[in-house]
């Protein structure tokens, strides 16, 4: 256990020179008495609350509950507003800014007199960004997930945000819904604060954070407006003070076994494909090798047990009442798929925290003998069209498309797609393969969630609801369909996707894990020789920094200078 003079904040406040005097003077300016903060763990609360982020609209209030816990445990809380990455509003995509928030997180924790941190987030990119920055700073931290919103409702139907938005928008484009129905849906899809209540990227990543051991057990599934969420926030504030005294740094929790268990959890949840990129980037910050092949290897032996949309039937509120993540993890542990001896944020082992967990609804959290799918919900594809790999959430696709060959219909960027997809002159059938390029990390820019390419209106009117779609983009975790994503290298840097022409046959074979462009090597060499790189998207500012240092999807889309090993010195507060 640490003593008060071993606290990191003591270096700012505890000495007898001019700078220490200055720091104490400014604390008095803040209205603090010495007894309120001196000799106590100073806890940073990094809050991604914003007026324009509906997923986090309750986090200003939750920060007060975190503070309550910190004070109760004898610490001193300091709230820091940090960048909010709102999936619903930020353009071209908050993925462009994930690394910016990670840098902000790291540098705030490094440069201020704090001993530990509570990280508050949930909307897709905030969770990995906060944890990436915290891993680089390596202080004791605990994560408070924003929590999923309540179930959606429309007439007599239960709605899932995102998933049902795509579904009913297709019905609108097919002429099955009018303005009145659409207006009603607008008021019913998202009914409360919190993240998407499907197993989208938000709940996938907050569940991954809990599986890693960085949240209190059971935190990820608590609905945002449930009183249990208030209590969890206060308990997290109380616990972080203990973690500081115990010097339980994030590096002691984020082991190779923890990352393997996070991947296993994502697969068993039928989670978002975005988790592949984020967990690879997070592991890179922890100097732990993790790649696409690790996901595919585990996917072949981890069953999908969570029956949650878009790959299943239920929503996160149902998952919570069925026992939540502790219950699901207990079933994975019983199958020998988890490393239960590793330490988590409570200071206990994962196995100890899972002891006594129960499943209350076997249809929501399936037993191993009756899984939603026998294999994990993700598959990694390789072939001459994706030498660096690609991913597909095959559990959310129509089964007949998992082995498919069809002619490509190519779109150069999302604007081209929007302009031509419903053109009556476009030669396209249900067997065609929609191809979108210039949507990757550099081409997007930022790798937007364009991967669930829209199906042409005339095919929707014929009842077509899924087609094979291939892109170097991502897609929302709430999306569904036979969408091949994250094709690497991306077309913008000359990846094979740049060479595809309309009419070229493309073969997708998920059981064989292949994605192939059926064009001869001689022809491809000729096309490559004729290819010219596009103009850079940015000439200055953060975009130029991003373009100069971003890695490809199979490497986690981190900045190369953040992902590489190395230690930054602690700042001298004097």
Each residue's pLDDT tens digit, 262-286: 999 999 999 999 999 999 999 999 9
Q: Which two tokens stand for residue 296?
A: 């595919």
Q: What is the pLDDT of residues 121-176, one digit of tens each?
A: 999 999 999 999 999 999 999 999 999 999 999 999 999 998 899 899 999 999 99
Per-residue pLDDT at 484 exceeds 90 = yes
Q: What pLDDT shows up at residue 2?
A: 93
Q: Which two tokens stand for residue 365?
A: 């959290």
Per-residue pLDDT at 48 exceeds 90 = yes
Q: Residue 331: which residues within 8 A CB-CB, separation 6 or more?
A: 305, 359, 365, 367, 368
Q: What pLDDT shows up at residue 199?
A: 96
Q: What pLDDT shows up at residue 76?
A: 98
Coil, strand or helix at 158: strand
How would residue 446 be classed by pLDDT, with cut points 50, 70 and 90? Answer: very high
**How many residues in total does the chain contain?**
574
Strand partners, 42: 76
Per-residue pLDDT at 574 exceeds 80 = no
Q: Is 511 exposed, middle or buried (0-12, 13-18, 19+ CB in 10 A)?
A: exposed
CA distances in angstroms from 415 to 85, 212, 438, 489, listed in the order given? 23, 39, 10, 21
- Residues of the chain above pLDDT 90, percent: 96
Q: What pLDDT shows up at residue 162?
A: 87
Q: What pLDDT shows up at residue 568?
A: 86
Angle at 480 (CA atoms; ends 477, 481), nearest 5 degrees? 140
What rounded mean pLDDT belongs to the chain? 96
Distance CA 437, CA 491 (A): 6
How would residue 485 be classed by pLDDT, with cut points 50, 70 and 90? Answer: very high
Per-residue pLDDT at 573 exceeds 80 = no
Q: Single out the residue of 273, 290, 472 nearest to residue 380, CA to CA.
A: 273
How would residue 572 be classed by pLDDT, with cut points 50, 70 and 90? Answer: confident
């Amino acid at each position: 256990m640490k003593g008060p003079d071993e606290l990191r904040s003591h270096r700012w406040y505890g000495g007898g020179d001019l700078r220490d005097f200055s720091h104490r003077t400014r604390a008095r300016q803040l209205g603090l008495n010495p007894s309120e903060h001196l000799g106590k763990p100073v806890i940073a609360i990094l809050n991604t609350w914003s007026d324009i982020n509906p997923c986090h609209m309750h986090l200003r209030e939750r920060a007060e509950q975190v503070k309550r816990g910190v004070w109760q445990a004898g610490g001193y809380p300091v709230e820091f507003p940090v960048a909010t990455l709102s999936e619903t509003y930020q353009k071209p995509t908050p993925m462009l800014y994930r690394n910016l928030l990670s840098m902000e997180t790291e540098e705030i924790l490094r440069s201020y007199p704090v001993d530990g941190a509570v990280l508050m987030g949930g909307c897709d990119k905030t969770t990995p960004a906060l944890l990436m920055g915290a891993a680089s700073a390596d202080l004791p931290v605990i994560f408070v997930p924003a929590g999923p919103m309540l179930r959606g409702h429309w007439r007599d139907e239960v709605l899932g945000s995102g998933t049902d938005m795509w579904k009913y928008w297709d019905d609108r484009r097919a002429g099955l819904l009018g303005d009145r129905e659409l207006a009603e849906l607008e008021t019913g899809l998202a009914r409360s604060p919190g993240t998407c209540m499907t197993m989208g990227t938000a709940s996938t990543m907050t569940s991954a954070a809990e599986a890693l051991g960085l949240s209190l057990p059971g935190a990820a599934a608590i609905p945002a407006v449930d009183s249990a969420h208030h209590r969890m926030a206060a308990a997290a504030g109380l616990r972080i003070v203990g973690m500081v005294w115990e010097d339980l740094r994030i590096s002691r929790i984020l082991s190779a076994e923890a990352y393997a268990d996070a991947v296993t959890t994502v697969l068993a949840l039928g989670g978002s494909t975005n988790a592949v990129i984020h967990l690879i980037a997070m592991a890179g910050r922890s100097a732990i090798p993790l790649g696409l092949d690790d996901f595919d290897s585990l996917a072949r032996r981890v069953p999908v047990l969570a029956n949650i949309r878009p790959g299943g039937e239920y929503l996160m509120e149902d998952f919570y009442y069925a026992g939540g993540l502790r219950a699901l993890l207990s079933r994975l542990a019983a199958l020998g798929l988890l490393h239960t001896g590793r330490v988590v944020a409570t200071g206990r082992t994962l196995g100890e925290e899972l002891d006594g967990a129960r499943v209350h609804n076997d249809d929501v959290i399936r037993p191993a003998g009756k899984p939603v799918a026998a294999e994990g919900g993700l598959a990694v594809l390789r072939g001459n069209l994706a030498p660096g790999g690609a991913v597909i959430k095959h559990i959310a696709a129509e089964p007949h498309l998992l082995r498919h060959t069809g002619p490509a219909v190519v779109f150069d960027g999302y604007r081209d797609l929007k302009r031509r997809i419903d053109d009556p002159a476009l030669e396209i059938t249900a067997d065609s393969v929609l191809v979108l390029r210039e949507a990757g990390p550099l081409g997007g820019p930022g790798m937007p969630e364009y991967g669930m390419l829209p199906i042409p209106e005339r095919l929707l009117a014929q009842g077509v609801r899924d087609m094979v779609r291939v892109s170097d983009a991502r897609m929302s975790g709430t999306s569904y369909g036979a969408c091949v994503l994250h094709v690497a290298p991306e077309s913008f840097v000359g990846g094979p996707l740049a060479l595809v022409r309309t009419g070229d046959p493309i073969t997708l074979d998920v059981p064989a894990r292949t994605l192939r462009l059926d064009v001869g090597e001689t022809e491809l060499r000729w096309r490559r020789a004729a290819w010219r790189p596009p103009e850079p998207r940015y000439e200055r500012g953060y975009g130029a920094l991003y373009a100069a240092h971003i890695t490809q999807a199979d490497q986690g889309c981190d900045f190369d200078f953040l992902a590489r090993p190395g230690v930054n010195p602690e700042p001298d507060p004097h």
